[in-house]
Amino acid sequence: MPAPTASLLSLSIARLYRLGRVALCLALGGLLVACGDKPAPPSTAAVQQLPDDSVLARIYDSSCKLCHANPASSAPLTGDVQAWRPRIAQGADTLLDHSINGYNGMPPMGLCMQCSEEQFLALIRFMSAQDLQ
């Protein structure tokens, strides 16, 4: 007759094995759901364009473009309305606060130490291609 601890151990291992299989199935199912249709990223032309205002164009080119024209940065790309939509929904005050104080990967002042609040808001409008609320 096997010792009681040995049978408890084999029972625990069997439960862990089943739990692992269930977790694997759930993870694979989650990955398949994530394979849905995604909106196309903005065109290269949209990402490369500059604001019409020459002062904003210089600021964008020297500060914002480093991240907002680089898909690897995880920043919302210029002209990507879908990526900007939830951010715009937060309102101008929140976006201005994130621009000035930094947020997640965004550095404080967005690398533009001389920018005014009005310039930040104008640049956000340009990059998001949306009006601020």
E strand or H helix that includes residue 15: helix 4-33
Q: Which residue has the higher pLDDT, 129 or 32?
A: 129
Q: Is the pLDDT of residue 46 over 60?
A: no
Q: Assign 3-state DSSP to the chain and report helix, strand, coil percentages, each to 5.
A: 65, 0, 30
Which pLDDT belongs to residue 54?
95
Confidence of residue 121 (pLDDT cuts 50, 70, 90): very high
Which pLDDT belongs to residue 49?
87
Q: What is the mean pLDDT of residues 40-53?
A: 72
- Report the distance separating Cα 113 and Cα 6, nearest Å: 67
**Distance set, CA 38 to CA 48, 57, 80, 88 (Å):** 22, 30, 12, 20
Q: Which residue has the higher pLDDT, 34 or 53?
A: 53
Task: Report the Cα 25 to chain-centroid distance in Å.
Answer: 27
Q: What is the mean pLDDT of residues 35-52?
A: 66
Q: What is the mean pLDDT of residues 109-125?
A: 95
What is the overall mean pLDDT for the chain?
A: 82
Which pLDDT belongs to residue 79?
94
- Residue 115 exposure: Cα atoms within 13 Å on the Cβ side: 27
Q: Is the pLDDT of residue 60 over 90?
A: yes
Q: What is the mean pLDDT of residues 47-70?
A: 92
